[in-house]
Chains A and B, each alone.
Chain A
């Protein structure tokens, strides 16, 4: 359970810097400068924003369903943060050893839909309720391809435990690349068709965290803020925290499932023991630090891609969103589950 103690403070720091990064990334992509005033290169902009947000009046609209309105942000955040419980950080710092591992993760993050519905209904505003309905339709639809993608990896690794999946990617013990280390042992190299699975997983994860091009639930141009239109101050901050938490969670799960988890990407080549040099010997403090470094830096790269996509693609329409999930992603991921079975039985 030790990894859990790392992820809560890390999430808070991550959100502050992710919001700053998001603004800078979007600015550079649109040939602007982004925040430049507060601190050097605008580095303290988010801190100033947080300070402002904390001072805001806590508004609960008169006709809102107060209990649901107050509970909703908590449920959204708690259900997403519970997902971090099973994530490992390095070979020694493991998450919860629950047998069901990633299955548990899928189950608890599906609970955030309840919070979104509560927020949408409790606000007693038409924008909120439309946002909530869209959000729920989207999350429920994209959970299916996402679950099937995870099922592919579970079939190939024959384990639900994320730590077990990570360990299998240190050195490849079976299959065509037996004995490979570094990037060669990663699932995405060991089972090349997982590239398709990763793309489907990535698209679904964007939809799950309500990010552009799937930000219909909070599309500013039509719904003001979607299900969190009526929220302000700290309650809004908690919802925001949950959204960035979801981004980080899906990025970490992607790294663990496809990109070698806490393992280095440098392989051992002949006498150049690059993998051993960049991993530290097992059980020592340096191994934990290297593991954490690799896992987090790879996850940050995926978070960057999420931001890149957000500022590159326009929002999809509701029918396009549904079509993509049910007509393309679900059948393709079903096919991939089939392929995983064949690959596991014939190639190993």
Chain B
């Protein structure tokens, strides 16, 4: 019992959590439950990132996917439904697209599983900077253009959203 690798153990635990969440999304009829199960999936993925030493990516996963995206999804769902009192249920009506998508995914996974995925070995090259610092330095040097472009793109989205939201308002006032 002496040499259990806790990283591996944690990996399987969180991976299992994600898979369990994903399966529950498929089998639950209640859409709201499905969304909360999606939290579990994202959380498991974030935990896997953290276990594999990618702390920054893991935290970003929580902040962006759970704290941002998922909240908006839930929010939209709750605002659009329930108001008319109807029950939210998911069904299995779209069988043909589902079969097609499963086939396509299966083809991709078949190839993927043939490729070797070696486990991370602990003998990583020691750097003067920590991982988070390295990400910061790389973002500000090698990938600066990408960073700036993304920033401008996001600003455009923000300005555009404000414009679209504000345009209708002015017309109403007149």
Interface residues in chain A, defined as those with a beta carbon under 8 Å from any beta carbon in chain B: 65, 67-68, 98-100, 103-104, 106-108, 110-111, 113-114, 117-118, 120-121, 129, 132-133, 136-137, 140, 143, 160
Q: Are A99 and B67 touching (Cβ within 8 A)?
A: no
Any A CB within 8 A of the CB of B59: yes
Q: How many A-B residue pairs have CB under 8 A?
A: 66
Task: Report the minimal beta-carbon distance from B147 to chain A, rounded to whole angstroms.
Answer: 14
A68 closest partner in B (C-beta): B36
Can you report 6 A-B residue pairs in the complex whose CB atoms are below 8 A from each other?
A68-B36, A99-B55, A103-B56, A107-B60, A114-B66, A117-B71
Task: Report the minimal beta-carbon distance from A321 to chain B, rounded to whole angstroms.
Answer: 16
A327 closest partner in B (C-beta): B162
Contact residues of B between 39 and 65, Cβ < 8 Å to A: 39, 55-56, 59-60, 62-63
Task: Report the minimal beta-carbon distance from A285 to chain B, rounded to whole angstroms.
Answer: 31
Any A CB within 8 A of the CB of B7: no
Which residues of B sit under 8 angstroms from A111, Cβ to Cβ? 62, 66-67
Q: Are A103 and B67 touching (Cβ within 8 A)?
A: no
**Within the assembled complex, what's the spacing in Å between the Cα atoms of A143 and B66?**
14
Q: Are B67 and A107 touching (Cβ within 8 A)?
A: yes
Task: Report the minimal beta-carbon distance from A122 to chain B, rounded to whole angstroms.
Answer: 9
B133 closest partner in A (C-beta): A99
**Within the assembled complex, what's the spacing in Å between the Cα atoms of A120 and B66?**
18
Using A98-B55, A100-B55, A100-B132 as known contacts, say yes or no to A117 and B63 having CB atoms under 8 A apart.
no
Using A106-B63, A118-B36 as known contacts, say yes or no to A140 and B55 having CB atoms under 8 A apart.
no
Task: Report the minimal beta-carbon distance from B116 to chain A, rounded to whole angstroms.
Answer: 30
**Most-contacted residue by chain A among B59, B62, B66, B78 (CB, 10 A):** B59
Which residues of A sit under 8 angstroms from B131, Cβ to Cβ? 99
Q: Are A104 and B36 touching (Cβ within 8 A)?
A: no
Which residues of A sit under 8 angstroms from B78, Cβ to Cβ? 117, 120-121, 129, 132-133
Q: Are A107 and B63 touching (Cβ within 8 A)?
A: yes
Q: Are B32 and A113 touching (Cβ within 8 A)?
A: no
A103 closest partner in B (C-beta): B59
**Within the assembled complex, what's the spacing in Å between the Cα atoms of A136 and B77?**
13
Any A CB within 8 A of the CB of B102: no
- One of B30, B33, B56 near A99 (C-beta < 8 A): B56
Q: Are B130 and A99 touching (Cβ within 8 A)?
A: yes
Q: Are A117 and B74 touching (Cβ within 8 A)?
A: yes
Q: Are A107 and B62 touching (Cβ within 8 A)?
A: yes
Q: Are A113 and B132 touching (Cβ within 8 A)?
A: no
Task: Report the minimal beta-carbon distance from A65 to chain B, rounded to whole angstroms.
Answer: 8
Any A CB within 8 A of the CB of B75: yes
Q: Are A100 and B56 touching (Cβ within 8 A)?
A: yes
Contact residues of B between 55 and 112, Cβ < 8 Å to A: 55-56, 59-60, 62-63, 66-68, 70-72, 74-75, 78-79, 82
